[in-house]
Structure 1
Amino acid sequence: MPGTTALYFVASPLQYLAARRIAATAEAGSRQVLIWYKHGVVSIIQPGEWDAASYMSWPRWEPLPGVFGRHRRLRANIGLVAGLVGQCDTLHIHSAVFDTEAINYFLRALPRACGARTMRARILPDGIISTRRYPLSAGKRLAQYARKLRRLIAPELDYWCFDGDRIGSDAAFCDRIYVLPGLPHEYPAQKVHVLPPLVEPAAGQSGPAGTGRRALVIGQPLTGFELMSPADLAAVTGEIRAWLADHGFDAIDYKGHPKDAQRELAHPDYRVITPEQTLEMFMAGTHYDAVVGVRSSALLFARQLYPATTLVEAFGWSRIRFKSTAEKQNMERTFAALGVATHP
Structure 2
Amino acid sequence: MSSAAAVEGRPLAGHTTRLPWPFPDDLDSFRYSVNVEPARVPRPTAAGEWGAHIVDLGGEEYGAMMAERRRILDADPHRVRILPGMLPACWDLLLYYLRDLAISFPHIMELSEDGDHLHWRNHALGTDQSFVLGDAASLPYDPMTFLGREIPDDLLLVKERDGRLCFDAGLVTFAAAWSVSFDVGMTMDEIHNPVPRLTKEGITSRAEQFLRRLPADQVYRRVNWTLSASGSRKLDVSLEELPAWGTDIPALVRDEEWGRLQLRIEVEHFVRLPMTGAVTFNIRTHMTSLDEIRRVPPWRDQLARVVLELPEDLATYKGFADYREPAMAWLTGEVTA
TM-score of the two chains, using structure 2 as the length reference = 0.25
TM-score of the two chains, using structure 1 as the length reference = 0.25
Higher relative contact order (CA 8 A, sep 6+): 2
Structure showing the higher strand proportion among its residues:
2
